[in-house]
Structure 1
Amino acid sequence: MSNIYDIANELGRSIKESDEFKLLKQLHEEIEKDPAANQMLENFRRMQMELQQKQMQGMQITEEEAQKAQQLFELVQQQPIISKMMEAEQRLSVIITDINRIITEPLEELYGNPEQQ
């Protein structure tokens, strides 16, 4: 049997070679070349991170923060290149979630799935 780390590295290379990753990389590079789109995306990511950190600390997000985040999301979605990149991120995220489910399946078989208990 192959070394498990070799298999993991091969999986990483396969992800990098996938059409989904290549598209995401291309769109990311296009956004980096567009200062306005890049700044808009950075602002959106920063706000996302701040709200996630706040939630992780057990703090509530205010209605004002939620509205501001929603407005910024809608603004970002109006930029075709950013919207395409977010769609590409979502497609790659689905693949990675599926891979994670497959990888953790042996543990679920051994210990059971906590979500089903």
Structure 2
Amino acid sequence: MAVNLYDAAYDLEKAIRQSDEYTRLTKMYDAVYADATARKMFEDFRNLQLKLQEKQMTGQEITQQEVDQAQQTVGIVQQNLKIAQLMEAEQQMSRVIADLNQLIMKPLEELYSSHQ
């Protein structure tokens, strides 16, 4: 019997939305965005992250000044409890997604490793 992978993916999406990790992430996100100071700090941090990622992806050099600024910004935002909790929840969700990705890729990895 054939399995519709897209149906399985939609079921996985629903499960992710109902997971404790996602629920915690949304609560932490809402807490940051309900606090104007935390929201501004977080948005500034995200914009800096995106700018550096874009430079990296386009092969532009990231200056030492930009690295220093990023490290200083991380230190500042992590002092805000709400942002620190949000970042921790993001890390937990990222670990879950990475684990799921490993499971999804397992059949292909086994296939290719068995034919070497």
Q: Normalising by structure 2, report the TM-score.
A: 0.92
Q: Is the partner of 1:42 in helix, strand or coil?
A: helix
Query: Match of 1:60, SS?
Result: coil
1:37-77: CA deviation from partner (whole Å, max 9, x where unpaired): 00100000000000011011111211100000000000000
Check if 1:73 corresponds to 2:74: yes
Q: Which residue of 2 aligns with 1:95?
A: 96
What stretches of structure 2 of length at least 5 have no aligned partner? none
Q: What's the % identity of the aligned pairs?
A: 45
Q: Distance in 2 between matches of 1:54 and 1:31?
A: 27
1:105, CA displacement in angstroms?
1.1
User: 4+ runs of 1 displaced by more than 2 Å?
Assistant: none
Which residue of structure 1 aligns with residue 34 of structure 2?
Answer: 33
Q: Aligned residue for 1:59?
A: 60
In the alignment, the residues of structure 2 paired with residue 82 and residue 59 of structure 1 have an alpha-carbon distance, to the nearest angstrom, of 29
**How many residues of Structure 1 are paired with residues of Structure 2 in the alignment?**
113
